[in-house]
Amino acid sequence: MYIRQECLLSFEEILNLQPQTKLELVLSQIDLSDFEIAFKRSRFGPKGYDPTPMLYALIAAQLEQIRTVKALVQRLKQDPVFRYCCCFEVCGQVPSEATFSRFLTKISESEDLQKLFHKLVIRAKELNIIDGETVAIDSTKMDAFESPKPHSKLTDNGLTPNWGAKRDTNGNQVKWFGWKLHILSDTKSELPLEISVTPANVYDGTVALPLIEKLFESFGDLFKPRYYAMDSGYDFNYIYDAIVNDYQAKPVIAYNPRGSKSAPEGLDNDLQPICSAGYKMVYWGTDGDYIKLRCPHVCGKVDCVHGSNWCSNSNYGYVRKVNYKKEPRFYSYPFRGTEKWQSIYNQRTAVERCNSRLKEYLNLGNIRAKGIKKALTHCLLNSIALVAGTIAANSGQSKLKVA
């Protein structure tokens, strides 16, 4: 007669004794109490399912790069550890593929995911992971789940995918059918602070100010960036004017000549101010809202054949003063071409690394649902996973390194 020996610990207790996995660490940073109150118990399925484990499972799918809802359901059924990490009953049933699809539709119609994302950003700021002094704005392409359509059959209503084109980091022209994800990123942590999804044909420059406005609407005075770094796709007068005069910050944006054959009057092709003799004037600091530019001959930078008397009778030499708040595009502060300007502009690559992490280490480049609302939901799930993972990596409970 054989007697089965009883296990001293339950399956859950055994899992609790093991070292925390990456998935457990990341999901432990996500507080779904408000989400659970908003949705209560889902009525999807014959007995209904708690929305908390369903949302954990959707976030876990991004971390594990699970491509489809069908594959997610299969993983939940076959992997008890994965099921336990997502807070489902270890021996219980899991939602069906149809149940998850209806749940995705429901959360796409609400703003709860955006609120959850903002809560994580606030927590990262409180932990000094996010600085917020310098932010960068850029976009990245996302292919649509829908089949590509010719231009003649497209409806340009802002809600459906469209054809887009932009140059990659190597200068190659890339064309795709789908969406653009626009990100306002903190340059210190390289984490997204605000995101927006548009059809691929929407020009980057038109989304910058709505993103900045959304940042202040979402966080109030928590973030007051001093510098906004952007590439030449955002080189528009109205963006400079709004950042300088409405948000009391400094735009650091690359110049875009847009096919012009000559530089504006008083500037060379590098957008540097020149004197009447054609030499680059010397930046000499600021005086209040005014940028001071001095004669290069007097400053010893050039040997002008006309001498300093050509422009001024003063021994100090000719001085040009320009109000950078009135002409922020051509006379920016920090002054374009200085080490400080270049140092801040170089931080713009932080948003590119944010895009790269969302695509390479998470699941951003794999949209499996139609419509702009579900595309935004997909982006929010990945952004939540990225911010939560960074918090977990920087918390004192683990030495886990998250890419």
Model-level pTM? 0.88
For residue 144, is it within any domain? yes
Q: Strand 290-294 to strand 319-323: parallel, antiparallel, or no bridges (unpaired)? A: antiparallel
Residue of higher predicted confidence among 275 and 47:
275
For residue 378, is it within any domain? no
Q: Is the pLDDT of residue 190 over 60?
A: yes
Residues 46 and 182 in one domain: no
For residue 386, is it within any domain? no
Residues 85 and 50 in one domain: yes
Residues 135 and 50 in one domain: no
Residues 75 and 163 in one domain: no
For residue 314, is it within any domain? no
Report pLDDT for 155.
Answer: 83
Residues 139 and 213 in one domain: yes
Domain count across the chain: 2
Quick one: average pLDDT of 344-363?
Answer: 93
For residue 19, is it within any domain? yes
Residues 357 and 213 in one domain: yes
Residues 28 and 86 in one domain: yes
- Which phi and psi (to 5°) does residue 89 adopt? -65, 135
Residue of higher predicted confidence among 168 and 131:
131
Report pLDDT for 136.
Answer: 97
Spatial separation of the C-alpha atoms in residues 267 and 59, rounded to whole Å? 51
Report pLDDT for 363.
Answer: 92
Q: Is the pLDDT of residue 94 over 70?
A: yes
Spatial separation of the C-alpha atoms in residues 23 and 259, rounded to whole Å? 50
Residues 72 and 163 in one domain: no
For residue 159, is it within any domain? yes
Residues 143 and 54 in one domain: no
Residue of higher predicted confidence among 308 and 386:
386
Spatial separation of the C-alpha atoms in residues 27 and 115, rounded to whole Å? 16
Report pLDDT for 278.
Answer: 86
Domain that holds residue 136: 130-231+348-371
Residues 80 and 149 in one domain: no
For residue 248, is it within any domain? no
Quick one: average pLDDT of 73-87?
Answer: 91
Report pLDDT for 380.
Answer: 97
3-state secondary structure the chain: CCCCCCCCCCHHHHHHHCCCCHHHHHHHCCCCHHHHHHHCCECCCCCCECHHHHHHHHHHHHHCCCCCHHHHHHHHHHCHHHHHHCCCCCCCCCCCHHHHHHHHHHHHCCCHHHHHHHHHHHHHHHCCCCCCCEEEEEEEEEECCCCCCCHHHCCCCCCCCEEEEEECCCCCEEEEEEEEEEEEEECCCCCEEEEEEEECCCCCHHHHHHHHHHHHHHHHHHCCCCEEEECHHHCCHHHHHHHHHHCCCEEEECCCCCCCCCCCCCECCCCCEECCCCCECEEEEEECCEEEEECCCCCCCCCCCCCHHHCCCCCCCCEEEEECCCCCCCCCCCCCCCHHHHHHHHCCHHHHHHHHHHHHCCCCCCCCCCCHHHHHHHHHHHHHHHHHHHHHHHCCCCCCCCC
Report pLDDT for 171.
Answer: 75
The average confidence (pLDDT) of the chain is 86
Which pLDDT band, with edges at 50, 70 and 90, does 15 fall under? very low
Q: Is the pLDDT of residue 276 over 80?
A: yes
Q: Is the pLDDT of residue 338 over 80?
A: yes
Report pLDDT for 55.
Answer: 94
Report pLDDT for 17.
Answer: 44
Residues 172 and 91 in one domain: no
pLDDT tens digits for range 95-143: 999 999 999 999 999 999 999 999 999 999 999 999 999 999 999 999 9
Residues 88 and 150 in one domain: no
Report pLDDT for 317.
Answer: 85
Which pLDDT band, with edges at 50, 70 and 90, does 75 fall under? very high
Report pLDDT for 400.
Answer: 42
Q: Is the pLDDT of residue 25 over 60?
A: yes
Q: Is the pLDDT of residue 353 over 50?
A: yes
Q: Is the pLDDT of residue 336 over 70?
A: yes
For residue 328, is it within any domain? no
Report pLDDT for 39.
Answer: 64
Which pLDDT band, with edges at 50, 70 and 90, does 203 fall under? very high
Token pair listed for 200: 């691929």
